[in-house]
């Protein structure tokens, strides 16, 4: 696969704060990933109705897996996604389902794509590019201070009884 070009969205993202952390029964987490994947042979087919179908499917599958789309940019020959994925779900599991379901949906709705030369039964190219979107040092410092204040409140509560 040729190299992927990273594109920075021009939309302003929400500033991260403590409320951007999610909770599971025994975990507080903030796991954001930037994922890029492409149609087979980098065909420039992600336009018009096909683009809309991919966007809808990405959002629907992401919701079903209890993940959250932060940013989605479908270009003619690649998809950029920033998504929060809980630590109990692997990236490969998430992407396998996302690419599988969206490929089936696109081929089902746009049957003429199967006739395209070299297409075969796969809409997406193999693999994907993934990187983590980390918190900055200031955010981590705020979290540590917040935790310290929470602990002090707990101790004060225990001693006031």
Active-site residues, by number, are: 143
Distances in Å between the alpha carbon of 119 and those of 43, 50, 54, 61, 71? 10, 16, 17, 24, 28
In this structure, the strands spanning 129-133 and 32-37 are antiparallel
113 CB burial (10 A radius; 0-12, 13-18, 19+): middle
Position of tokens 């992927």? 4
Dist CA 118 CA 125 (whole Å): 12
Position of tokens 């789309």? 69
How far from the centroid of its chain's Cα atoms is residue 31's Cα? Answer: 10
């Amino acid at each position: 696969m040729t190299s992927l070009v990273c594109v920075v969205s021009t939309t302003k993202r929400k500033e991260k704060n403590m409320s951007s952390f999610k909770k599971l029964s025994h975990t507080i987490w903030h796991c954001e990933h930037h994922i890029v994947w492409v149609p087979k042979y980098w065909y420039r087919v992600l336009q018009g109705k096909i683009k809309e179908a991919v966007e809808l499917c990405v959002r629907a599958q992401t919701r079903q897996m209890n993940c959250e789309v932060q940013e989605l940019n479908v270009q003619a020959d690649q998809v950029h996604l920033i998504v929060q994925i809980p630590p109990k779900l692997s990236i490969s599991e998430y992407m396998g389902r996302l690419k599988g379901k969206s490929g089936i949906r696109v081929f089902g709705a746009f049957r003429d794509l199967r006739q395209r030369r070299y297409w075969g039964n796969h809409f997406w190219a193999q693999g994907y590019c993934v990187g983590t979107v980390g918190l900055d040092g200031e955010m981590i410092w705020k979290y540590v201070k917040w935790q310290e204040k929470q602990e002090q409140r707990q101790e004060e509560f225990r001693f006031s009884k």
